[in-house]
Amino acid sequence: MPTHRTRRIVEILKQELVEARKELEDYQAQAEQPDFEMGDAEGYSTWQAAVALQGHLEQEVEEIERALDRAEQGLYGTCEACGEAIGAARLHALPYTTLCVRCAAKTA
């Protein structure tokens, strides 16, 4: 049975997921249809930023989905790699993280 805390986390993660997907769609549209003329350096760098953000958001969406899965299994807040508890401060800053500080540092 999911606890009250887990249900609340699932709510928060679902909200984050909706927002991240919306943002991702925006940047995807921009990345797919570059809207600048030859020699338009500013337009080009805006487009490049959209491409970079798109990649970042794709990762974020995946991470949130994984965190949601884990929350639904009652594993929220435990590290996916080592099984240790993830620190409260870290979860507060990154609610969808699935790695503890130590494991995140190893994979970064």
Query: Which residues are paired to 78 by β-bridges?
Result: 85
79 touches Zn ion by CB under 5 A:
yes
Q: Which helix (H) or strand (E) holds 10?
A: helix 4-32
Q: Which among 75, 101, 76 is positioned nearest to 87, based on CA atoms? A: 101
> Residue 85, interface with Zn ion (CB under 5 A)?
no
* Closer CB to Zn ion, 19 or 69, in the complex: 69
For Zn ion, the closer CB: 54 or 97:
97
Q: How far is the CB of 107 from Zn ion (least distance, A)?
A: 10
Residue among 31 and 101 whose Cβ is closer to Zn ion: 101
Does 52 help bind Zn ion (rule: CB under 5 A)? no
How many helices and strands (H and E) does the chain possess? 4, 0
CB burial class (10 A; 0-12, 13-18, 19+) of residue 6? middle
| 70 touches Zn ion (CB under 5 A) | no
Residue ranges in contact with Zn ion by CB under 5 A: 79, 81-82, 100, 103
